[in-house]
Chain A
């Protein structure tokens, strides 16, 4: 199973990922409200942070979904049946990544369902030329995250 890894230290908030996501994912016409990125990078005084569905291993959003709109697909990706979404935002309430967003005029929740790219290379990752965003095997990313944490502690 694959997952997104974000390296805030490498991100310069150029927003190329947002542009690529918008261009690749949205099936709606360009002037419609839905034509907006699922990925969002924020600049904060504490550094950049990323709002994006991480396709978590445990799936609080799927458990909370009262419309059976969010489901874990066979490849581990959390997919969404938009038609079934009633916009209650139970998913938003339990998502630790703030990955759920709404679009004005549509009482629905939206999130990344990895419909872009060929599955292994999401558009946002391909657009990032600073390696701030990676899409990797789950176990590898967890390992890497752990190593980084340990290195951080050692450096201190």
Chain B
């Protein structure tokens, strides 16, 4: 007779409470009906989609929609939730997370630990954080604050015309705020665009009278002046606004891992199993690295689908079911006033071995880059139809010559060089 092996009940602790954390918790529960699962998050509200906060700011998404992951969600899965609780340190020997809630210390024991603390906006000496007027756009609290400030007739300066900067500008303009965006690079949307794509995006946005975007300029100092903030630009000019939003990039939230032995190289170094360098401590999401699925290199690919996938993989490994994550490629997609922009892969790749194929019309701009005849990136403005088809070719390393013979490839203007609906053109 076989003795029934009694599985001991383990406690899985997750620090962070966004997509990586929630996906991990959900998966952990599916795999371990009896184990204890604890989430520690420093925000006041239960998990929500961070990507929606600018839409919430602009009034395109309601509060109900944004906060629909109510505490019920956790209760239904028997997940212990600690809101407004910040992890301050980890005692690796005793397996304890030192946390703080409302000034009171809380020690939480773990058997396995998942670090899913994401990242935070970067502030510099030129624009130091100031809760009254120099802020970031990363959390629900940030969105609430900007929403309260964003009234008709107000003016905002946004530092950085990256993805989050432009989305924030878009949201503020929808509220009637006058917005000036200043960007160091010659292009908007940073790594997603080239000059032509950037020009199209910028033109589309600044068509709105409340929105202005200045490129090739940066902010060297910001200070408070009476009830307003003054920004000094690198080119000498000064400008005044009611508030300033910094969106020049993010840094991983890793300070509480100091002294644990978890290897950090600006971001947490994980392996393919989402393991850190310390036993039973895992990491997932914007806090850690992931692989470029085509080149196999470790990159920082801080996007939603990667965080979700890493959370899931981490949960499998924390449950003793080994699984590896192959990674993804950099990609992003956004829409401003019904003009869609999608960028996939190494859009910025340059060199002698790079070949470019593009399609340009009044309303469409698409570009594919090939390395040794294999597509490595795709960028589209105006018409992004079927972008996933080309993504398949990039990830699958399908030679371009082979790809363009496929029927489904004919959907893309950059392949058929027609731009209109193919069926009409052929008929």
Contacts and interface: CB of A to CB of B under 8 A. Distances in A.
Contacts of B266: none
A13 B61 CA distance: 40
Interface residues of A toward B: which range? 35 or more
Nearest to A61: B388
Nearest to A94: B388
A114 B338 CA distance: 26
Contacts of B344: 93
Interface residues of B, number: 40
Nearest to A81: B65
Given A64-B305, A66-B49, A68-B68, A46 B410 contact: yes
A92 B342 CA distance: 9
A87 B333 CA distance: 9
A133 to B, nearest CB: 15
A97 B388 contact: yes
Interface stretch (A19-27, A47-55, A136-144): A47-55
A42 B333 contact: no
Given A86-B55, A94-B391, A98-B388, 15 more contacts: A8-B407, A41-B423, A46-B405, A60-B305, A66-B52, A66-B304, A67-B61, A68-B49, A86-B60, A88-B334, A90-B332, A93-B342, A97-B389, A98-B386, A98-B411
B68 A43 contact: no
Contacts of A42: 407, 410-411, 422-423
Nearest to B421: A42
A86 B333 contact: no
Best-buried of A67, A93, A95 by chain B (most CB within 10 Å): A93
A97 B61 CA distance: 28
Contacts of B342: 89, 92-93
B385 A101 contact: yes
A57 interface: no
B407 A48 contact: yes
B63 interface: no
Interface of B: 49, 51-52, 55, 60-61, 65, 68, 304-305, 308-309, 331-335, 338, 340, 342, 344, 384-389, 391-392, 405-408, 410-411, 416, 422-423, 426-427
A46 B426 CA distance: 11
B382 to A, nearest CB: 12
B305 A90 contact: yes
A13 B332 CA distance: 34
A119 interface: no
25 contacts: A41-B423, A42-B407, A42-B410, A42-B423, A44-B416, A45-B426, A46-B406, A49-B408, A66-B304, A67-B51, A67-B61, A68-B49, A68-B68, A86-B61, A88-B51, A88-B335, A89-B334, A89-B387, A90-B332, A93-B344, A94-B331, A94-B388, A94-B391, A102-B340, A107-B338
A85 B227 CA distance: 38
Contacts of B308: 63
Given A66-B304, A96-B388, A84 B65 contact: yes
Best-buried of A13, A86, A87, A101 by chain B (most CB within 10 Å): A86
Contact of B49 (A45, A49, A67, A95): A67
A92 B407 contact: no
